[in-house]
Structure 1
Amino acid sequence: MSTLSTQLLTWFYKHGRSDLPWQAPHSSPRGGQSKSKTNAPIYYVWVSEIMLQQTQVVTVIDCFNRFIKRFPTLNALANASEDDVLAQWAGLGYYARARNLHKTAQIIMQQHQGKFPQEFEQVLSLPGIGRSTAGAILALSFNQNHAILDGNVKRVLARVHQLKGHYSQSATLNKLWQLAELHTPDTNVDHYTQAIMDLGATLCTRAHPECLRCPISSLCAAHENQTQANYPEPKPKKLKPTRSIAMLVFVKDNKVHLYKRPSAGIWGGLWSFIECEDTPKAIQKSLLEFDQQALISKHLPIFKHSFTHYHLNIHGVIVDCPSSQAKFYQPNQLKFGVPKPVEKILHQITQLMNA
């Protein structure tokens, strides 16, 4: 066991988080060394690890509690509709994670007799689960010896070792995996895994790390050289392109038209407004295709929604369509998931209708 893992575990048994909703009562670090190989229910661990991909704990907690209340078991999740799953995912974004969670639940019920697999390669083959997530699930649930490398761990290791380069570069990522495996102990892997994630989340934060309270500051090259702000090295910046679209809010009898988007592409499986290029010609063409009597009643302010690789300017256009035979929905009584921009426009629509 490395000095880093020894000191980190000592700190964890005194200061580690033990009140997260996906942690089992007997997984508390206050109890000292692990005596059980099933420290946390694997269904809870799996759901939380997927939610924690690209999302902070403070955001995940309420969403996790709501999700588990609706789908208390893996079987309940597998038997749910995709629309129901996506609706319960609201607030977390990156909806492909929810679709993969749903697919995985169905695969486990069909191919693994309803039991989450415990072999690393089997877990890794499931939708939406990469090397780090697979390792975390098996380490936290079964105390298996697998390293993890989420964002918190990357930051801790990059600072401790003053590792050059950004982890989007393969050489840097490979080195981080080597370091992660070096420090992962042979015993108490479940507690070590939670400990290093806790350290990154609570003390070794991106901004203003609390080095004076850190249990491994004496081992940290960045702390010794006061270069914490330089690690991890930032990703080389690329200028994001900007696109512009119009979201056409077709209204009839105070209801709005929405359609379910294809599973592939952005906002896959969510319900949205019909879109077109934000030009008068394209808007008019889309209006007439939907309803020959459609008339624009209001233009909403343009707002920006950013994705990982580009910005999207969104122009909401409210359209009266008295002769359409399409399906319309009450904007404040939806039972399915919608993208954030659509949610924003629906809120504006509701306010206008109630004015």
Structure 2
Amino acid sequence: MNPISKPLLKWFDQFGRKTLPWQSKPANPYHVWLSEIMLQQTQVATVIGYFNNFIQHFPTIEALADASEDAVLAQWAGLGYYARARNLHTTAHLIMRQYQGNFPTEFKQVLDLPGVGESTAGAILSISFHQNHAILDGNVKRVLARYHQVQGHYGQSATLKQLWHLAKYHTPNQRNAEYTQAIMDLGATLCTRSKPNCTRCPIQSQCLAQQTNTQDQYPNPKPKKNKPTRTTAMLIYQNTAGEIYLEKRPKKGIWGGLWSLVECENKEKTILQTLKEFDPNAHIKANLAVIKHSFTHYHLLIYPILIHCPDNKQTFHPLEQLTLGLPAPVKTLINRLK
């Protein structure tokens, strides 16, 4: 074994996480796949509740395939990056059709699944089927960047190539599944972004960043760009019964496939024109407090406008027991109306 794997596995046997809800013996490939997709861009503490709820609603790949996209998105709402949920649903259909409901076991097959990259495919096959594959998620990038003092941000191709080389070099032939979980656990619990707990780290004696007290410099930060701020008006059409009008968003773009309020440019003329096109008899009741919602690449200022539609015949939804998948700020607005 190489210098990392032996002490890391010894540490994992004593301190590694072994009771997460998707961890079982033998491993359940569906649970592993679902957890790996949920853990993309999301912390474990957040994922646990969503995972348990998702499995309760869709206990098997077949149940997921049989569900409607709206039902899947409703259980994903609030977790963000909604293409992940749509890809899960698409993949469940694909697995039922091409693999008779059994999760594929070949690397190329898994890599071809929607929403699965090289690291995710490696993690699924390593943990589920004890295959020898390297992984390179955010935690592993941080561990290796510090251990070897890798220069450059991993968004740069040369840096990413170097990190993949190191990930494959350190991945052992034996106990691969345990090693995969161990190096993720190390990054998540000790080698954290800020204030890493180096004194408890099983590989700190050979870590170049620890030796030079430069842990805060690795991984090298991405060059900062100021996030632009965009604005939108959200029109809350409400009928006499207090129900609201919602429309399904396109699959591409933010909040893809979720149900949301009608949006338009935040200009008085545009708002009034949009309102009249929807219902000539509608009128503005109130301008509600502005909501700021931040995405990865920009901030969004939402200007909510409550509009009364007394006799509109379109489909409106009651505020109570609303089970549709809603973007987080829309859910916030609806809660304000209750």
Return the alpha-carbon distance in structure 2 between the equivalents of residues 91 and 141 of structure 1.
Answer: 28
Shift of 1:233: 0.8
How many residue pairs get aligned? The number is: 337
Return the alpha-carbon distance in structure 2 between the equivalents of residues 209 and 242 of structure 1.
Answer: 33
Partner deviation per Cα, 1:176-209 (whole Å, 9 max, x = no partner): 0000000000111100000000000100001110
| Pairs within 5 Å for 1:216-227 | 216-227=203-214
> CA contact under 8 A between 2:78 and 2:327: conserved in structure 1?
no
State the secondary structure of the residue aligned to 2:4.
helix
> CA contact under 8 A between 1:120 and 1:138: conserved in structure 2?
yes
Are residues 1:2 and 2:2 paired? yes
- Structure 1 residue aligned with 2:123: 136
Return the alpha-carbon distance in structure 1 between the equivalents of residues 319 and 303 of structure 2.
Answer: 18
State the secondary structure of the residue aligned to 1:255.
coil
Match of 2:253 among 254, 258, 265: 265
Shift of 1:92: 1.1
Are residues 1:298 and 2:275 paired? no
Match of 2:150 among 159, 163, 167: 163
Partner deviation per Cα, 1:87-133 (whole Å, 9 max, x = no partner): 11123111110000000000000111111110101100011101100
Shift of 1:288: 0.1
Please report the TM-score for the alignment, with normalisation by the length of structure 1: 0.94
Segment drifting more, 296-305 vs 211-220: 296-305
Please report the TM-score for the alignment, with normalisation by the length of structure 2: 0.98
| Pairs within 5 Å for 1:145-224 | 145-224=132-211
Partner deviation per Cα, 1:43-88 (whole Å, 9 max, x = no partner): 0000000000000000000110010011110100010000110111
Return the alpha-carbon distance in structure 2 between the equivalents of residues 268 and 110 of structure 1.
Answer: 25
- Structure 1 residue aligned with 2:233: 246
2:15 counterpart letter in structure 1: H
Are residues 1:309 and 2:320 paired? no
Runs of 4+ in 1 over 2 A off after TM superposition: none
- Structure 1 spans left out of the alignment, 5+ residues: 27-38, 351-355
State the secondary structure of the residue aligned to 1:3.
coil
> CA contact under 8 A between 1:249 and 1:317: conserved in structure 2?
yes
> CA contact under 8 A between 1:63 and 1:91: conserved in structure 2?
no
Identity among equivalent pairs (%): 61
- Structure 1 residue aligned with 2:23: 23
- Structure 2 residue aligned with 1:340: 328
2:2 counterpart letter in structure 1: S
State the secondary structure of the residue aligned to 1:293.
coil
Return the alpha-carbon distance in structure 2 between the equivalents of residues 341 and 104 of structure 1.
Answer: 28
- Structure 2 residue aligned with 1:45: 32
State the secondary structure of the residue aligned to 1:20.
coil
Shift of 1:325: 1.2
Shift of 1:236: 0.5
1:189 counterpart letter in structure 2: N
RMSD: 0.8
Return the alpha-carbon distance in structure 2 between the equivalents of residues 239 and 63 of structure 1.
Answer: 31
Return the alpha-carbon distance in structure 1 between the equivalents of residues 289 and 78 of structure 2.
Answer: 23
Return the alpha-carbon distance in structure 2 between the equivalents of residues 279 and 90 of structure 1.
Answer: 29
State the secondary structure of the residue aligned to 1:317.
strand
